[in-house]
């Protein structure tokens, strides 16, 4: 609402200044009169109406999203059309309404000059309009980038805490300690999984994106460590589309879904449960689903932070083209991420 008010203030002040300058010029050449003043004011009113109509047309056809090279001929043509409308509106008003001119006074040269004058003023108006629009978009883009980096850092730090929290480290290290005597080879494998997770977490802090295959490898390392604790209680099913593995996605986006599935699903059932991880590419989107046995708990706030974090990162990076949902399906909970794929 505030932006719309600013638009109208600029419209009235800009075309009012145009009328004032014309009034000064008419006075300087000795052609000032009440009829000339009325025509001058009406021309500015026509300018407000015509440029507002042009703004409606440009917004309706989404000119703001077009490239500059394709925009220039459109602006030139629309400026000329608006100039013609202003010229003949002002001419008809001056002749029929106030009698400032006669039809015989309207020569071809005069018509060309006034049409060019009005078209040039509309052209300047459009340059100013798009200049303000692009400047505002630049500011919004810069602010969005700052928000994205802040959200990404916050996500990475919170995920780092989640992966390195004392409870997880205690369980993993305690399992590895027991294995060093019972099964040294398996203990070495567990240490490798933990090292891989720590390395990937540290690498993700540089803000890079990751392939889905890299995200999957971290998930496999995490599940391998958790399987030491849950053993046969943790069952994992994979349904991975090979075409999805090379696609890019935000780093450290998949692992928290697996962690939530274990923490709020598998660990609460004495019999354990199953996690299904699947991916597919459909309609230029990478779709990733994590389904686990269990039920959503509306009173639990611990998952809401992670869910809102994922939604926020997707919104800042992809806008409305990405999506995230968390739904109860019978006795399972399904988390789904949709990420647009570059063509």
Instruction: Note the pLDDT of residue 160.
Output: 47
Instruction: Note the pLDDT of residue 159.
Output: 56
Flag whether the pTM goes above 0.85: no
Instruction: Note the pLDDT of residue 103.
Output: 77
| Cα gap 177→61, rounded to integer Å | 66
User: In 3D, which of 110, 109, 112, 130 has the Cα closest to residue 120?
Assistant: 112
- Locate the DSSP E strands across the chain: 209-211, 234-240, 248-250, 273-282, 285-293, 323-329, 332-340
Instruction: Note the pLDDT of residue 213.
Output: 92
pLDDT digits (tens, 9 = 90+) for 224-243: 888 888 888 889 999 999 99
Instruction: Note the pLDDT of residue 336.
Output: 93
Class of domain 165-340: alpha beta
Boundaries of every domain in the chain: 2-143, 165-340
Q: Which residues of the chain have pLDDT under 50?
A: 160-161, 163-164, 299-301
Instruction: Note the pLDDT of residue 206.
Output: 55
% residues pLDDT > 70 (the chain): 88
| Cα gap 234→174, rounded to integer Å | 18
């Amino acid at each position: 609402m505030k932006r719309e008010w600013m638009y109208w203030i600029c419209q009235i002040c800009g075309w009012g200044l145009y009328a004032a300058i014309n009034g000064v010029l008419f006075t300087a050449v000795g052609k000032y009169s009440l009829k000339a003043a009325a025509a001058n004011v009406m021309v500015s009113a026509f300018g407000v109406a015509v440029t507002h109509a042009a703004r409606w047309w440009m917004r309706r056809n989404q000119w703001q999203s077009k490239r500059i090279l394709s925009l220039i001929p459109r602006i030139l043509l629309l400026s000329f059309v608006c100039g013609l409308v202003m010229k003949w509106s002002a001419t008809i008003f001056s002749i029929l309404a106030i009698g400032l001119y006669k039809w015989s006074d309207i020569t071809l040269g005069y018509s060309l000059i006034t049409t060019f004058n009005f078209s040039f003023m509309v052209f300047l108006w459009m340059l100013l309009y798009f200049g303000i629009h692009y400047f505002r978009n630049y500011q919004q883009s810069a602010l969005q980038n700052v928000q994205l980096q802040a959200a990404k850092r916050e996500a990475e730090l919170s995920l780092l805490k989640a992966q390195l929290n004392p409870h997880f480290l205690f369980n993993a290290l305690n399992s590895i300690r027991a294995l060093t005597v019972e099964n040294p080879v398996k203990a070495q494998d567990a240490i490798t999984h933990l090292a891989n997770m720590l390395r990937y977490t540290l690498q993700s802090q540089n803000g890079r994106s990751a392939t889905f295959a890299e995200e999957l490898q971290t998930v496999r390392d995490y599940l391998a460590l958790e399987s030491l604790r849950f053993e046969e209680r943790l069952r994992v099913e994979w349904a991975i589309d090979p075409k999805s593995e090379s696609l890019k996605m935000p780093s450290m986006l998949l692992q928290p879904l697996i962690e939530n599935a274990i923490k709020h699903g598998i660990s609460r059932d004495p019999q354990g449960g199953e996690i299904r991880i699947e991916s597919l590419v459909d309609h230029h989107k990478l779709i990733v689903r994590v389904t686990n046995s269990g039920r959503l708990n509306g009173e639990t706030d611990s998952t809401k932070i992670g869910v809102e974090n994922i939604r926020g990162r997707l919104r800042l990076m992809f806008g409305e083209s990405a999506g995230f949902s968390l739904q109860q399906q019978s006795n399972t909970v399904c988390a789904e991420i949709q990420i647009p794929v570059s063509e």
